[in-house]
Chain A
Amino acid sequence: MESYIKLSWEFFKRNLSGHMEYRTAFFVEVFGMVINNFAFVIVWVIFFAQFKQIKGWGLDEILLLNALAGMYYGLMVTFLGGYMRIGKLISEGGLDYFLSFPKDPLWHIGVSRMPASALGEILYGLITFTLCKYATPEGWAIYLLVGILSAIIFSQFIVLAHSLNFFFFNATEASQEIIWTTMSLSMAPQSVFEGGVKFIMLFIFPSLLIAGIPVDVIRNFNVQNVLILVGIAILITLLAQSVFRYGLKKYESGNQIQANM
């Protein structure tokens, strides 16, 4: 386990160095991403200028949501950025490369890539957090803790969504669609999801798991809520890892590939 953490750091350093080779482009990507994401904030500023709040969610809550999104998305693409390629690797046979190494392939896929804008996402999250009312000293600690837990949940969700490619041919678009939709819905004020709709937002497009519940934990911080969040993180990790390993067994039987003979 310890060696995996050390190795993750080695990969991170190399990913970063690779981008630093192109200094200007790197900074353009990082700051471009911050600016890009702020467009969403502007939309909500306009919205809340007209409508004070929606079911208990006002501008501060949306800022908190955005700050959290920057953190969980940013942490994921920084340390496990390769997860976004899983679908493509499965359907194009690129998984073989990772299988030839003496280390866990899922982990290896994750650490092998980091988009240039990754740190921009984290930066965006941090900046946005300072703008909302939750940014008290304790608030920061809570934010970082919940951010890490959300990042774990989010990354395992990505693994699950991409694992579809083990079981269905040409599912790359479908798995992307599920991820994009979940991410879009995660940016909406989560309080509008009530009743039956909650079911969709928990199990099909799990925006409540990634964003809704974590934001609530930050707003109502207590030990019980944190434990619930930890529990979710553990459960989804176990699920994603099992599904991936099961899919990997299928992959190793080689049946769904247009046999790259």
Chain B
Amino acid sequence: MTSGVVRKYSIFNESFGKYYAIFAINIKSSMAYFGALFIGFVSSFAKLLTYSLIYKAAFEAFGPDKFPDLTLAQVIWLVVFTQSIYISRDTMHEISASVKSGQIAVFLNKPFSYPLFHYFSYLGKTIVPTVTDLAFGSVIAYFLVGPVPIDIFNVFAVLPLALGALTLIFFQSFIFGLISFWIEDPDSVSRIYHKFDMVLGGRIIPIILFPEPLRTIALYLPWAQQFYSVGKNLIIPDHSEIIRFYLLQGFWVIFFGLVSIWLFRKGVKNIATNGG
């Protein structure tokens, strides 16, 4: 293994091999308990079904008047997509617990990056539920309203948005975990914060159905980039808009990323001075 090219490749492998391993083991553990998994499936199915029924009833009665540009199928598929992104708040709980117990100091001595460790764990935990929810949701939507035309170009176009969305959710969870260095109970603060992303993020009501001026405001907030952007650009694509979504998401990802890094550095300093 003396060739320069091979060595570079193996260093790359070595650094990221461990993160891939973290990612993989989280996927495995999210599938470990068959009973919980099964109940999880049934629950997702029931929730997606309920949302679809709500919007079907609502849109059939009032949709065509208020939203002449939308079809029922589009609305249902959009609802399914925004509902499918699985939110794991484990990151916040894990970090906050390890800060409280002082265990975080141990972690920081390990030969891997603490934020990256949590990021890949989060991805591992999120992938399976999200994909299965999407699958269930698609089945439900298909049987209720039939298929919706999807351009293959759009599928590729939204993949980065999907990753960006998950990353955004992760950063916020990471930040709330870290503020337990300074706040006694981040859980209650985060609960209120998450009400904002629930209401304004288009998670329960797709933003496209909001009344103005709420609709325009919500589109610029970070939460729209989490749940709403992927679904919107896939189901009801508007080529003029997609650039704007990219830019907005990019902005918020960078913003929350910087806040995360800043807080993390502060936290590490906090440990160094207080000894954990």
- A and B touching (C-beta < 8 Å)? yes
- A interface residues, Cβ below 8 angstroms from B: 28-29, 32, 35-36, 39, 42-43, 46-47, 49-55, 168, 170-171, 173-174, 177-178, 180-181, 184-185, 188-189, 191-193, 197, 200, 204-205
B209 to chain A, nearest CB (A): 6
- The 8 Å CB contact of B62, one of A50, A191, A204, is A50
B275 to chain A, nearest CB (A): 27
Can you list 28 A-B contacts (CB < 8 A)? A32-B191, A36-B195, A39-B198, A39-B199, A43-B198, A43-B204, A43-B205, A46-B205, A46-B214, A47-B58, A51-B58, A52-B61, A54-B58, A171-B36, A173-B39, A174-B33, A177-B36, A177-B39, A177-B40, A178-B39, A180-B43, A181-B46, A185-B50, A189-B54, A192-B50, A192-B57, A193-B53, A197-B49
Known: A36-B195, A55-B57. A50 touches B36 (CB 8 A): no
B188 within 8 A of A: yes
**In contact, A50 and B211 (Cβ under 8 angstroms):** yes
**In contact, A50 and B66 (Cβ under 8 angstroms):** yes
**In contact, A174 and B35 (Cβ under 8 angstroms):** yes
- In the complex, the chain A residue whose C-beta lies closest to that of B203 is A43
**In contact, B62 and A51 (Cβ under 8 angstroms):** yes
A177 to B46, CA, bound (A): 12
**In contact, B47 and A185 (Cβ under 8 angstroms):** yes
Known: A51-B62, A170-B36, A173-B33. A46 touches B210 (CB 8 A): yes
**In contact, B62 and A52 (Cβ under 8 angstroms):** yes
A62 to chain B, nearest CB (A): 11
**In contact, A32 and B192 (Cβ under 8 angstroms):** yes
- B interface residues, Cβ below 8 angstroms from A: 33, 35-36, 38-40, 42-43, 46-47, 49-51, 53-54, 57-59, 61-63, 66, 188, 191-192, 195-196, 198-199, 204-205, 209-211, 214
- The 8 Å CB contact of A177, one of B43, B51, B192, B210, is B43
Most buried by A among B58, B188, B199, B211: B58
- In the complex, the chain A residue whose C-beta lies closest to that of B40 is A177
**In contact, B198 and A174 (Cβ under 8 angstroms):** no
Known: A50-B209, A192-B54. A205 touches B46 (CB 8 A): yes
A120 to chain B, nearest CB (A): 11
Known: A52-B62, A170-B33, A170-B36. A185 touches B188 (CB 8 A): no
The secondary structure that dominates the A interface is helix
B143 to chain A, nearest CB (A): 12
Known contacts A39-B199, A50-B211; 6 additional CB pairs below 8 A are A39-B195, A43-B198, A51-B62, A171-B35, A173-B36, A192-B50
- In the complex, the chain B residue whose C-beta lies closest to that of A181 is B43
Known: A51-B58, A168-B35. A204 touches B198 (CB 8 A): no
Q: Which residues from A are CB-within-8-Å of B211?
A: 46, 49-50
- In the complex, the chain B residue whose C-beta lies closest to that of A180 is B43
A173 to B33, CA, bound (A): 9
A92 to B192, CA, bound (A): 31
Q: Which residues from A are CB-within-8-Å of B36?
A: 170-171, 173-174, 177
Q: Which residues from A are CB-within-8-Å of B42?
A: 204
A188 to B83, CA, bound (A): 14
- The 8 Å CB contact of A29, one of B50, B63, B188, is B188
Q: Which residues from B are CB-within-8-Å of A39?
A: 195-196, 198-199
A35 to B47, CA, bound (A): 24
Known: A46-B210, A49-B211, A185-B46. A54 touches B66 (CB 8 A): no
- The 8 Å CB contact of A192, one of B53, B62, B192, is B53
**In contact, B54 and A32 (Cβ under 8 angstroms):** no
Q: Which residues from B are CB-within-8-Å of A189?
A: 54
- In the complex, the chain A residue whose C-beta lies closest to that of B44 is A181
- In the complex, the chain A residue whose C-beta lies closest to that of B210 is A46
A205 to chain B, nearest CB (A): 6
Most buried by A among B39, B40, B59, B209: B39
**In contact, A184 and B47 (Cβ under 8 angstroms):** yes
Most buried by B among A32, A42, A174: A174
Q: Which residues from B are CB-within-8-Å of A42?
A: 199
B257 to chain A, nearest CB (A): 27
A173 to chain B, nearest CB (A): 4
A163 to B228, CA, bound (A): 38
Known: A36-B195, A188-B50. A54 touches B61 (CB 8 A): yes
A110 to B160, CA, bound (A): 48
A180 to B191, CA, bound (A): 15
- In the complex, the chain B residue whose C-beta lies closest to that of A168 is B35
- In the complex, the chain A residue whose C-beta lies closest to that of B57 is A54
- In the complex, the chain B residue whose C-beta lies closest to that of A51 is B58
A188 to B56, CA, bound (A): 13
Q: Which residues from A are CB-within-8-Å of B210?
A: 46, 50
**In contact, A28 and B188 (Cβ under 8 angstroms):** yes
Q: Which residues from B are CB-within-8-Å of A32?
A: 188, 191-192
A192 to B57, CA, bound (A): 7
A57 to chain B, nearest CB (A): 9
- 9 smallest beta-carbon distances between A and B, as pairs: A39-B195, A51-B58, A181-B43, A192-B53, A174-B39, A173-B36, A54-B57, A51-B62, A174-B36
